[in-house]
Amino acid sequence: MLFKTLPLVLASMLVAVYSAPMPLAVESRATTFTGDGTFFQPGLGACGKTNTASDLIVAVGHGTFDSFPGATANPNVNPICGKKLKASFGGKSVEVTVADRCAGCAGAADLDFTSTAFGKLAATSVGRIHGVKWEFV
Per residue in 8-25, pLDDT (tens digit) is: 443 443 333 333 444 555
Beta bridge partners of 85: 96, 136
Rounded distance, CA 37 to CA 133, Å? 9
Cα–Cα nearest to 110, from 65, 73, 72: 65
Q: Are 38 and 128 in contact (CB under 8 A)?
A: yes
- Three-class DSSP category at 67: helix
- Three-class DSSP category at 79: coil
Q: Which CATH architecture has domain 21-136?
A: Beta Barrel (2.40)
For 106-137, what is each residue's pLDDT tens digit?
Answer: 999 999 999 999 999 999 999 999 999 999 99
